[in-house]
A and B are shown apart, each in its own frame.
Chain A
Amino acid sequence: MPKVKIPRKSTIVDMTAMCDVAFLLLTFFMLTSNFTAKEPVKVVTPTSISEFKIPETNIETILIDKTGKIYLGIDGQTHRINLLKAMGDAYKITFTKDEMKRYSVRATTGVPMSRMKAFLDLPLEQIDNPNAQQGIPSDTTTASEFRQWVYYAKMENPQIVIAIKGDKETPFPVIKTVMKTLQDLKQVRFNLITGLKEVPKD
């Protein structure tokens, strides 16, 4: 019997096509992704079964860390600059162009107005230190700085949606003060940012 010759085939596969696909996908993901801006403190949000996604634009984030410090930020750099200008006018502080620029690149900021100028003048390596920000002073009186921030943010962008991002361990009185202030300003519809939890079966 004659031997059947099995032709030896090369195992090398042309990778060019696969490489093309991989980089195409990579480009797509790079262009569509938008990273969350760095926050001054790490906040662990509570979980809920709610599945609504937060909108990406016209959002005002109120960040509350576990010690009760309040930070606030709105989206859009021009909005941020205008907001800081308005707050500066209200507190009779003029900011330089440089300071405004530095404010506008920060997603959330929590500094009392009296220290805002000093904070924005900090050198780069100190500005990201979590202890550099003391939180926005808040109480339920009409003169509280937090109230002013929320008020001017609404003036700056009337379509703004308020989202509260609180830490799990935040003491309730702080949350209550924030909610009261929002209520006083007739901002009765707001969002609580939460992580996702599985819906329990009934």
Chain B
Amino acid sequence: MAELNTGGGGHQKGAKKARSKKLSTRVDLTPMVDLGFLLITFFMLATTLIKPQTMEINMPRNDKVDKKDQTLVKASKSITIILSKHNKVFYFFGEPDPKTGPKPEVIPTDFSKDGLRKMLLDRNAPIVAQIKELKKEKDRTRMTDEEYRKRASVIRSGDAAAIVMITATDDAKYDNLVNVLDEMQICNVSKYAIIDLSPIHKQLIKPLDN
């Protein structure tokens, strides 16, 4: 396609003088455009795909806390989740540290939609319903994102909210922890804590964990 007037070749009639041929200066730019777009594609993919997501967590401080400042965990609202090897999850309701009182029933489950999530949505139903209402209202009216977040966080820290204790055995993986923290977000649980595995927890899951 590069236009080079090479004049058909062969003997030209009437060309008496040896004239220097006028060559067109047009160069075909198609391959250059191709190259340009190829590089653009590369840089676009290389820049936008590497930005990682992050999940922010707040741990409690280790300092001594005054008794009156501590939030007492209501046994009726509390759920303890224990992570174990081979992506297994156990949970029980009630007292997070069941030294006293009756032995809670430990239920094994998994990370599927009908496992842990269903249970959490069930237990946290009032909050989930309120958040849904809020979302609808946001779609209807012109609520700003900021206002939505503020109201959502008020709802999430309400009295009816479930309180989740997360603990794990030494065989659990980091992936399990992130998955559980993810479920907390999906199920609108804002009151959760990562706690140490106590010997009682170990004892509770022992018959089920193999």
Residues of A near any B CB (own CB < 8 A): 12, 14-16, 18-19, 22-23, 25-26, 29-30, 32-36, 45-54, 64, 163, 165-176, 179, 182-184, 186, 188-197, 199-200, 202
B201 to chain A, nearest CB (A): 13
The answer for the CA separation of A52 and B111 in the assembled complex, in Å, is 23
The answer for the CA separation of A192 and B181 in the assembled complex, in Å, is 10
The answer for the CA separation of A36 and B50 in the assembled complex, in Å, is 7
CB of B70 within 8 A of chain A? Answer: no
Inter-chain contact A191/B54, CB cutoff 8 Å: yes
Residues of A within 8 A of B165 (CB): none
**Other-chain contact of A33, B37, B43, B83, B170 (Cβ < 8 Å):** B43
Inter-chain contact B170/A171, CB cutoff 8 Å: yes
Interface residues on B, range: 35 or more
Inter-chain contact B174/A29, CB cutoff 8 Å: no
How many A-B residue pairs have C-beta atoms within 8 angstroms? Tell me.
157
Residues of B near any A CB (own CB < 8 A): 1, 3, 28-30, 32-33, 36-37, 39-40, 43-44, 46-47, 50-63, 83, 113, 117, 121, 132, 168-179, 181-182, 185-186, 194
**Other-chain contact of A25, B40, B169, B179 (Cβ < 8 Å):** B40
Most chain B CB within 10 A, of A23, A48, A172, is at: A172
**Other-chain contact of A26, B39, B57, B179 (Cβ < 8 Å):** B39
Inter-chain contact B29/A19, CB cutoff 8 Å: yes
Residues of A within 8 A of B3 (CB): 12
